[in-house]
Amino acid sequence: MRVAVLGSTGYVGGRLVPKLLDAGHEVRCLVRTPEKLASVEWRSEVDVVQADVLDEASMVAALDGIEAVFYLVHAMGLSGDFERTDRIGAENTCAAAAATGVGRIVYLGGLGEDDPTKLSDHLASRHEVGEILAAGPVPVTELRAAVIIGSGSASFEMLRHLAEVLPAMICPRWVTTTKCQPIAIADVLHHLAAVLELEDEGDRIFEIGGPDVLTYREMMHRYARIAGLRRRLIAPVPVLTPRLSSHWVNLVTPLPYGLARPLVDSLINDVVVDAARDIGAVVDHEPLTIDQAIERALAVVGDLEIKTSWMDSARERTPAQPMPQDPDWAGGTIYQNLQIVQSTVSPEAVFAAVSGVGGERGWYVANILWTWRGWIDKLAGGVGMRRGRRHPDELRVGDALDFFRVEAYEPPSLLRLRAEMLVPGDAWLEWRVVENPNGGCELRQLARFHPRGVAGRLYWWVLLPPHKVIWRRLAERLAAAGGHQAPHPDRAR
């Protein structure tokens, strides 16, 4: 089908587009700022048209020839009256779709009771948008979801940062009583694409969710357990209003207050799938459990900067991972230190020095400190530095290298080591050697750390000053060592 996606620069839309392309659909992305899609992998496979839901004329022009429209935009988090903005956007889209002969609108809304007086302003607005779209002549398929679990989702990022940063917290009482039925982002995308295959039966509302129904406190406990954190101490109190809670969320997470407030307000409402509207009656699909969804999201945090390296432009089509168009607060916390050093010798020579680190040759700078770190790790029950390396010059993926493990080895350009010493988080040390057009090469060294809880964050910031000095000198000496043959282990003693 020829489909248009409104919201392709957003969290769900940016992940839905490649899924639609893989299914063979022709996709047109309607965006206010086309430049936001310039760096996405699938840019050359779609038609990008500038349009704004607040401008009906632009929508009419952009929807010409389109058979189905995915409406995935909302004004939550923006300043001003977001309900009015959402209302105008829905009205303009409804009119434009009718004027251009669109056959179906697919809309992603929010779970909750039909009575708007019993809903938060955010959920009431989500339902109102669905009603406005359905009031027109174009059939509307509305999917309603609660918390979406996936790296980069606003709801999940709030859950993630609260659980990771705060080993103990006081929360509003509803955190322990309100029921929620979260759903994995992969399942949301499956359902959105699947409804295009359903026969047209007019306006329909389907509710989508995973198999688990939990309180928000139970979700934080699940996250902590799967993330390897200690069980969080959560004390409910009756005095915290949604407004105060929103300021607290803004303080301890990267989410801006304008986004945190409607999210917190919505958590007061039970958001559980109504069996009469369960999409499982028409779409045969087994959704992920919340544990599986969290595991996927956390695996992406570890793999995001690994499979998708810090200099690679290509991105795998993994629906859970943050993407170029995601906001700054999307994804897990990753600390990093980048050192770039120029060399006049060939990439092969510099890479030979890089791939020769460790073992009896040592680490070129502050070897005594590396040795002490190894002894501390060993005394604490870790692997220490005694493992050395299999061969003084040769490496292969999976090799032990002191207290690292070789995770990627692509001579003469890439070596990535994953730390196996005891640290409160996950750590990597990576080198890229890039040939310069005018001769010589550039050595790019990246230290990356994904902290676990408060201890991980303290570990990074306390050790950052000495680490920065060591990392800088290490990069410089590796680049310099490429100018001559690295010493044989017997001579390096």
pLDDT greater than 90 at residue 273: yes
Q: What are phi and psi of 440, to 5 degrees?
A: 75, -165
pLDDT tens column, 129-184 = 999 999 999 999 999 999 999 887 888 888 888 888 778 877 777 788 889 999 99
CA distance 377 to 204: 59
State which H helix or E strand residue 335 sits in. Answer: strand 335-343
Lowest mean pLDDT among 49-58, 228-237, 295-304: 295-304
| Total of domains in the chain | 2
pTM of the complete model: 0.68
CA distance 378 to 396: 25
CB 364 within 8 A of CB 372: no
- The last residue of one of the domains, among 290, 307, 324, is 307
Same domain, 164 and 205: yes
Residue 484 covered by a domain: yes
Query: What pLDDT shows up at residue 113?
Result: 85
CA distance 256 to 280: 35
Residues 6+ apart with CB under 8 A from 147: 153, 155, 156, 159, 180, 182, 183, 219, 271
Kindly state the DSSP code that residue 471 receives in the 8-state scheme.
H
Q: Which of 71-85, 240-254, 304-318, 474-488 has the highest mean pLDDT?
A: 71-85
Residue 176 covered by a domain: yes
Residue 326 covered by a domain: no
Find the CATH number of the domain harbouring 273: 3.40.50.720
Q: Which of 56-70, 213-227, 408-422 has the highest mean pLDDT?
A: 56-70
pLDDT greater than 90 at residue 250: no
Same domain, 238 and 341: no
Same domain, 130 and 267: yes
Same domain, 384 and 428: yes
Same domain, 414 and 487: yes
The vertex-477 CA angle with 474 and 478, nearest 5°, equals 80
Query: What pLDDT shows up at residue 167?
Result: 81
Residue 132 covered by a domain: yes
Same domain, 108 and 156: yes
Find the CATH number of the domain harbouring 479: 3.30.530.20
Same domain, 341 and 294: no
- The last residue of one of the domains, among 292, 307, 322, is 307
Q: Which residues pair with 434 in a beta bridge?
A: 442
Same domain, 175 and 26: yes
Same domain, 267 and 379: no
Residues 93-114, mean pLDDT to the nearest whole number:
94
Residue 390 covered by a domain: yes
Residue 329 covered by a domain: no
Same domain, 88 and 203: yes
User: Can you give the residue range of the structural domain that contains 107?
Assistant: 2-307
